Structure formats: structure tokens, C-alpha cells
Amino acid sequence: FVVYTDSLCIELVVQGCYDTQSAALTALKNSDVSSDSKKTSCNAINTAISACDDLYNNCNSAGSTTNSKRSNAKAKFAETCA
């Protein structure tokens, strides 16, 4: 029998990608930076989350851990960079 693996989908990598951005958002939220500096950081994090999404989209059926980390990063972004 054949075990189907999506070569572009490594869930631990996707999870790590979102975790990294969540951590960056937490740090940003707790930092005392100017609004310009914050906007620059938010733009960079937004770009990074898009890259995580590209990886995520290679996963035909991501597990619940991956999905929750993704939701968490998106919620943190909305909260921190609104």
C-alpha cells in the first residue's frame, strides 16, 4: 500500500511558522514602540503570516494543532495590529 505524504506539507514546519509570528506579536504588543515602528513590524509580520499560509495551503488536511496555531496567530495579529 502507498502512504500518501504531501511533500510540501510538513505540519511541524507550518506550526513553527505560526508560533514564531505569534511570539513576535506578543513581543510587539508588550513593547513600547512608536506607532510608525509598530506599523512596520505589523507589515513584516503580516507578510510572514502570508508565507505561513502558503505553506499551510500545501496541506490538504491539516490537523487540529496546526489549525489552532493558525487561528491563534491570526487572532493575535488582529488584536495587536488592528
pLDDT in tens, the chain (82 residues): 444 555 567 889 999 999 999 999 999 999 999 999 999 999 999 999 999 999 999 887 888 999 999 999 999 999 999 8
| Domain contains 43 | yes
| Domain contains 14 | yes
At 8 the pLDDT is 60
| Domain contains 30 | no
| Domain contains 51 | yes
Q: How many domains does the chain have?
A: 1
d(CA 46, CA 10): 21
At 82 the pLDDT is 87
Q: What are the distances in angstroms from CA 81 to CA 8, 13, 22, 64, 69?
A: 30, 24, 12, 25, 18
| DSSP single-letter state for residue 46 | H
d(CA 28, CA 1): 48
At 7 the pLDDT is 56
Which residue range(s) make up the domain with 44?
Answer: 9-20+36-57+66-82
At 13 the pLDDT is 92
Q: What b/e string do you get for 12-37 counting C-beta neighbours within 10 Å, with b at 16 or more?
A: eebbebbeebbebbeebeeeeeeeee
At 6 the pLDDT is 54
